[in-house]
Structure 1
């Protein structure tokens, strides 16, 4: 398991995905905190050592030249790749939401509805808002916000209930699914993960696995 964690960290760093780094970090912190706060968990010291080792490994890998160069693109990269572009994109999307607050522009219409709101100076039309929360709201209206929050509440309530199960398998699957969802939620703040069908399908599978009952059938 230690080798798998280290392998995951190294591979994730080498993807050069800044949002992926943030999502992985958020998932690992979530898992560590949940395990450390669990009553009766006998391996809290081991979790602390693993978390510290993961942080050290991440720092070493993140210090590599390609990773440093990728981080620098936040402020010094091409116009379509830096943080200023994301902020302008989000600003235009907020104006788009303000003009269509209730019903939005329609599911999947962002690419054709956004051009009038695009900030001047950009030569490439945006296909995504690079923020799933803003894009879903722009597409379907502000009423989707309480719906999304309610569904997330139901998922995590069920996940934490299963996490307290006596079966280590059920508990582990519940924690893994919740951490994976946290990773996607963090990454979706700065990218359009759920606009990609494969990612949306993975997200659905994770939620389904987290909600599924893993009780063994009675003989």
Structure 2
């Protein structure tokens, strides 16, 4: 009997191995693992027309500091974002400035070959020695498969705008999306430098700490209820929900999710005792403030994010674990996570009262509101399933009144998948899922590379991956993801992952053999 069981086990493993090997080429194509955009850039006639701009850049004093100036723009975005929630024009102007500078920087760029290397050496020679680390990021490529998917997603959104029944309103949304995507491109460029990466994440974490401290102060001294959306008949109705500088508890919860993940991994990256104590303080303050928001979506995102982060940390350290724990560490973490959540819900009365409203369906007014909005949005998707109504909340607000249930007006779909589907149709939603697939695949590949070399930058990568999962989980029941304070953080996480991208080994070997002419 044991011999038969052993043979069946070996046969099953053999079949699984064969299926895996046969599926690998398809998986590589699906995740664009073999895509080599740098080959087009270095050999393209179209890109060659920009050589005069590249010669001008080498003689320009300002553009010698191009990456440093771009990093300063990015740092400024995250330094002021939570404090200008009532003044959208300030952040819009700053995003437009980032977009303009990125266009100037990119058009005057050299190739990823010897020409760019010579240009960089010339720039460094004219620059102070202490800024060399700023001006010379790692030699990772400027264009990645993530960039390709971002451009494809923008193209689908542009097509949805062109075919929208409210073209002017959709164009407004497309303009906003374009600013965010160009900000991603600028961040992916400057974050290739480890020093810039450290400064950008550090500035965001310090801004988030100030936001959390003010939120805790609101909890301590009381706060006027603003847009709390709590069912007055719920036991948790009397519990104040903090919103800090952002003016909305759900928005604050989404803003703090990346801060919690990044401050957790910062504890392992920062080496001195002082910074480690600061990281612990950030984790405690951000987590406490997140709890005080009373945001059920934020709590769901927090649980998903922490679980993924624990799994990634276990994978990182698995090479140091005994054989027994390599096998049973993941089930143990899963069981322990579920146990902690259950105990917290059972023992903490405010958490229990608030969390229980998730399961009462339409009996909770907030749930009932969202369900009615979702029903209306599904009807909108049914009428325009291919490319939707066009991107942006202005287009949504122009079409939604024709579908809304009485007394259930809404500014968005209150769900990221539904919002993307209603704005850009099934094609846009498929493209977005593809973008996520490519992003997570690259994140995993680069994590394996950093793990093999024990590079501490892998912790930032784990924080970015876990944050994306947390924001997506929160976004299943809310759309604060579209607010500038959150959308910039979303693209920061994707830019962090893209900044670690390196060319596959076989691509590096064949780079001189392949030419693509346009």
- Offset of residue 42 of structure 1: 2.6
CA RMSD of aligned residues (A): 3.2
Residue equivalent to 1:172: 459
1:203 is aligned to: 490
Structure 2 partner of 1:185: 472
Say yes or no: does 1:144 pair with 2:431: no
Q: 1:88 aligns with which of 367, 372, 380?
A: 372
- Aligned partners of 1:150 and 1:214: how far apart in 2? 17
- Cα drift, residue 111 of structure 1: 1.7
- Residue matched to 2:410: 126
Per the alignment, do residues 125 and 19 of structure 1 end up closer, same or farther by CA in structure 2, a change over 3 Å counting?
same
- Other structure's SS at 1:143 match: helix
Stretches of structure 1 that go unaligned for 5 or more consecutive residues are none
The answer on whether the counterparts of 1:13 and 1:62 sit within 8 Å (CA) in structure 2 is no
Give unmatched runs, 5+ long, in structure 2: 1-266, 268-278, 503-518
Q: Which has the higher helix share?
A: 2
The alignment of Structure 1 onto Structure 2 pairs a total of residues equal to 210
The answer to whether the 8 Å contact 2:300/2:473 transfers is yes
Aligned equivalents of 2:319 and 2:284: distance in 1? 23
State whether residues 345 and 352 of structure 2, in contact with CA within 8 Å, keep that contact through their aligned partners in structure 1: no
C-alpha deviations, 1:147-205, integer Å up to 9, x for none? 11111111111111121112432211111100000001111100003221111111001
> Given the two structures, how large is their TM-score scaled by the length of structure 1?
0.80
1:110 aligns with 2:396: yes
CA distances 1:113-160 after superposition (whole Å, capped 9, x unpaired): 11121123x2x5100111011011111111112211111111111111
How many Å apart are 1:31 and its aligned residue? 1.7
